[in-house]
Amino acid sequence: MDPDLIDPNLVFARTAAGEEAMLQRTRVVQRNVRMVLILVDGNATVTELCNKTGNAEITQNALLELENDGFIERRVEKDSVWRHGRKAANGKNTAILEPVSEFSTFGNKAESAPAASPSSRSQVTRIIPFPGNRQGTPSLTPSTLTTSTLTPTTLTPAPTATASDYGTVFLPKAAPESSAVLPADTLPQKPSLLEHLQALTRRVPAEDLAKRKFRRRGGQRLHLHWSMGLMLGLLLVAAMLALVVLFFPYARYLPEVEEALAQSTGRSAKVGAMSVSVYPKPGLLLDNVRFADQADSDAILIPALRLQPVIGTLLSPRIVFREAELRSITLSARTVATLSRILQSAARQSATAGVLQVSVVKAELSFAGLRIGEMNGDFELSGERLLEAISLRSADGKLSAQLRPTASGVAVQLEGLGWRPAQDSPYVFDSLELKGEISGPDFVINSVESRVFDGLVRGTAVLRGSGHPAMAGEISFERINVAKLGEAWGVGRQFEGEAAGKLKFSASSDSWSAMLPALQATGGFTIHRGSLGGIDLPEAVRRVSATPLTLGGRTRFEELSGAISVTPGASRFSRLVLNAGLMQSSGQIEVSHDRQLRGRMDVQMRGRADHTAMPIVISGPLKSPLTQTAGR
């Protein structure tokens, strides 16, 4: 260990590197060394540092390590105050102190010797310097002490220590000052402005914060970091804005808002309520907005209209809204046409308000009572902010629609992928593509193509919404899975095969929900490689003489063709021709609306000598019909 560390009055101070290391935990990692670095303040002696830590050996070793690393330096490098006190007590400065013994009247040399005896060197000496640099106080440096200037008053020796101040030596002012002066290059450098800024923004570990001790005058004060103050300020501003938004008297300004909407849209506007919304999108929220013309013939109602203005245009004569969101609006052909005229009016330069983008949320497509709900999308606007089309998509993304205004109405295009018309509907369209146009009360479907039941369906149709709902059209189908079609109709997989054919249909009813039972259709069909469940024609022919009645079974065939006629009361299959190997049959079957089966099939077995056709009567419920020979 360095011998100077034995000096208990040696004082250490932190260097610029030490100040930086105290703020950075990674510079000094050992806990005891870092603790000693924090305690070093340039005023405490080694003894005081040891008393604070409670372990002199650890403290002195830490001081040595910090000094070697350049984090601390000694305040008195060449001559410590301890040695200076011993020199003054031993009378080693004889050239200066000899005149004192000649002119002093307070004692001789022998009387002053005990104060500098060797036994006193083991005692702790406290240096108490006089206040420095006071005007009128003479300097006692060796250069100014000459024989001509020494007087009894100026050369009075320091009083001898008594029992009350044992271990204390009082020196003149100049002696400690001269010994405590440090060279300019050894003084600790003040941190630069950049270092101060880095120290403010640097995160200080919680352990270091707990070890720091601040000196406060006039009681304890709360010190906040600038980032915490900024956060508190932002929270306060946000709270004030929230209060303003909640308690602002919006109803007072409703007439001005309605007047601005009427001037921009060219229609009278009525707003139910007004407020400011923050989530999910900030903006002005208008409830129950109603636009109508003078005749009130094509009025539209928007349940919720959210307007998000461009901040820079709030104080200008023309306010521009970045986005207008229409929520829960019902989009019919009349509504689309009215919205197109409203946007055309708002695009005028004289309009007090304009819009850059329009979106819809939870919109509903409607035609004469037919509805498709929960559609979201955007308005496609031209460069002049005129409506070109409305693109919508269902919430699950399985159905998309595009509405395009035309001179006579609205062009409609629907595309579906795995779409189900209703949540509990048995019909699932693997793909759907529909193109048509709504003109007045009619919806003309120019083309529809759908993949359903593993097959393909194409057709055209016309839906009329004036008066009683009605529809008419024509479809063609191919490769339809009869088993899946039967499951959708509720008869299970009783019948099998791949069906193809054409149908012309029409229906009229009081409502769209009652349209299917009122359906009328005519056409032809062909089923390949299938079977008829519950009807066993070969077995009925074999049992004609023994047991004429047959229940259950299945008739497999290679091809079944015929004509179909659908009425509200029953479905009739006529001109049926069934080919199954050596068996061939023909006839007709009728299925009532309550699924009762009746009909007749003439069966001919070509493998027998008798080629006479055997008549078979079919009757009973569709699930389990009975077959028997005719006339018995």
* Nearest residue to 448 (alpha-carbon basis) of 429, 469, 425: 429
Selection from 99-103, 224-228, 262-266, 448-452 with the highest mean pLDDT: 448-452
Is 60 exceeded by the pLDDT of residue 387?
yes
With H, G, I as helix, E, B as strand and everything else as coil, classify residue 461: strand
What's the pLDDT band for 480 if we cut at 50, 70, 90?
very high
Dihedral sign from CA coordinates of 329, 332, 333, 338: negative
Task: Please state, in angstroms and rounded to a whole number, the distance separating the CA atoms of residues 426 and 433.
Answer: 19
Is 50 exceeded by the pLDDT of residue 126?
no
For residue 152, the 8-state DSSP code is: T
What's the confidence (pLDDT) of residue 275?
Answer: 85
pLDDT tens for 25-50 read 777 878 888 888 888 888 888 888 88
Mean pLDDT lowest for which of 152-166, 353-367, 535-549? 152-166
What's the pLDDT band for 490 if we cut at 50, 70, 90?
confident
How is 303-356 classified by DSSP, letter by letter?
Answer: EEEEEEE-GGGTTSSSEEEEEEEEES-EE-HHHHHHHHHHHHHHTSTT-SEEES
Residue 172 and residue 69 in contact, taking contact as beta carbons nearer than 8 Å:
no
Residue 53 and residue 111 in contact, taking contact as beta carbons nearer than 8 Å:
no
Is 80 exceeded by the pLDDT of residue 529?
yes
Q: Which two tokens stand for residue 341?
A: 């005229």
CA angle, corner 203, sides to 202 and 207, nearest 5? 135
Is 50 exceeded by the pLDDT of residue 169?
no
Task: Please state, in angstroms and rounded to a whole number, the distance separating the CA atoms of residues 406 and 409.
Answer: 5
The angle that helices 193-201 and 16-23 make with each other, rounded to 10 degrees, is 10
Task: Please state, in angstroms and rounded to a whole number, the distance separating the CA atoms of residues 290 and 303.
Answer: 8
Is 70 exceeded by the pLDDT of residue 501?
yes
What's the pLDDT band for 548 if we cut at 50, 70, 90?
low
| Average pLDDT score, the chain | 77
Task: Please state, in angstroms and rounded to a whole number, the distance separating the CA atoms of residues 265 and 146.
Answer: 107
What's the confidence (pLDDT) of residue 582?
Answer: 84
Q: Which amino acid is at 217?
A: R
The predicted model gives 297-311 an average pLDDT of: 89
Q: How far apart are the first and last CA of the chain?
A: 131
The predicted model gives 346-361 an average pLDDT of: 92
Q: Which amino acid is at 132?
A: G
Length of the chain: 632
The predicted model gives 613-629 an average pLDDT of: 87
Is 70 exceeded by the pLDDT of residue 120?
no
What separation in angstroms does the CA of 201 have from each of 28, 189, 212, 248, 594? 19, 21, 17, 40, 84
Residues whose CB is less than 8 angstroms from the CB of residue 266 and which lie 6 or more positions away in sequence, other chains included:
341, 342, 345
What are the contacts of 152-161 at 24+ separation with CB within 8 A? 152/103, 152/104, 152/105, 155/99, 155/100, 155/103, 155/104, 156/100, 156/104, 156/106, 157/97, 157/100, 157/104, 157/106, 157/107, 157/112, 158/88, 158/115, 160/112, 160/114, 160/115, 161/115
Is 70 exceeded by the pLDDT of residue 150?
no
Mean pLDDT lowest for which of 39-43, 224-228, 413-417, 583-587? 224-228
* Nearest residue to 297 (alpha-carbon basis) of 245, 271, 331, 334: 334
Is 70 exceeded by the pLDDT of residue 209?
no
Mean pLDDT lowest for which of 84-93, 138-147, 273-282, 395-404? 138-147
What's the confidence (pLDDT) of residue 116?
Answer: 40
Mean pLDDT lowest for which of 125-139, 194-208, 587-601? 125-139
Selection from 87-91, 465-469, 561-565 with the highest mean pLDDT: 561-565
Percent of the chain topping pLDDT 90: 36
Helix boundaries (H) for 523-585: 537-542
What's the confidence (pLDDT) of residue 125?
Answer: 39
Percent of the chain topping pLDDT 70: 71
What are the contacts of 397-400 at 24+ separation with CB within 8 A? 399/372, 399/375, 399/432
Task: Please state, in angstroms and rounded to a whole number, the distance separating the CA atoms of residues 200 and 454.
Answer: 72
Dihedral sign from CA coordinates of 96, 99, 103, 105: positive
Residues whose CB is less than 8 angstroms from the CB of residue 440 and which lie 6 or more positions away in sequence, other chains included:
409, 466
pTM above 0.85, yes or no: no
More confident position, 377 or 227: 377
More confident position, 384 or 220: 384
How is 205-227 classified by DSSP, letter by letter?
Answer: PHHHHHH-----SSS------HH
What are the contacts of 584-587 at 24+ separation with CB within 8 A? 585/537, 585/613, 585/616
What's the confidence (pLDDT) of residue 139?
Answer: 40
Tell me, rounded to whole angstroms, the distance of Cα 5 from its chain centroid.
62
